[in-house]
Amino acid sequence: MQMDFEPIRLEQQADYLKALEQCSQKSSDYSFSNLFGWADEYGLTWAWDDNLIWIRQSRPQTRFWAPIGPWDTIDWGDVFKRRFTTGTRFIRIPETLSRLWQKDLQNRLVSEEDRDHWDYLHDITEMVELKGNRFHKKKNLLNQFIKKYDYRFETFGPSMIEPAMAMQADWCNWRDCESSDVLSAENRSVFKVLMHWNDLVGLTGGVIIVEDIIVAYTLAEKMSDESIVVHYEKGCPDYKGVYQAINQMFLASLPDNFKTVNREQDLGEKGLRQAKMSYNPSGFLKKFRVELR
User: Could you report the per-residue pLDDT of 74-88, keeping only the tens digit for each?
Assistant: 999 999 999 999 999
Q: pLDDT over 90 for what percent of the chain?
A: 98
User: Is a pLDDT exceeding 70 seen at residue 1?
Assistant: no
The 10s digit of each residue's pLDDT in 151-205 is 999 999 999 999 999 999 999 999 999 999 999 999 999 999 999 999 999 999 9
Q: Does some domain include residue 286? A: no
Quote the pLDDT of residue 107: 86
Residue 102 lies in a domain: yes
Give the mean model confidence (pLDDT) for residues 257-262. Answer: 98
> Pick from 129, 128, 64: which is nearest to 97 by CA?
64
Whether 99 and 174 map to the same domain: the answer is no
Which structural domain range is residue 170 located in? 119-264
pLDDT band at 292 (very low <50, low <70, confident <90, very high): very high
Residue 244 lies in a domain: yes
Query: Which CATH number belongs to the domain containing residue 13 in this structure?
Result: 3.40.630.30
**19 and 81 assigned to the same domain:** yes
- In terms of domains, do 12 and 69 share one? yes
Q: Has residue 91 been placed in a domain?
A: yes
Query: How high is the pLDDT of residue 157?
Result: 95
The predicted pLDDT at position 212 comes to 95
pLDDT at 253: 98
Q: What's the pLDDT score for residue 89? A: 97
What is the largest distance, in Å, between two alpha-carbon atoms of the chain? 63
pTM above 0.75, yes or no: yes
pLDDT surpasses 70 at 22: yes
Any domain includes 66: yes
What pLDDT does residue 280 have? 96
Number of domains in the chain: 2
109 and 199 co-located in one domain: no
Residue 131 and residue 101 share a domain: no
In this prediction, residue 106 has a pLDDT band, given cuts at 50, 70 and 90, of: confident
Based on the fold, state whether residues 134 and 225 are members of the same structural domain: yes
Is 55 contained in some domain?
Answer: yes
113/87 same-domain check: yes
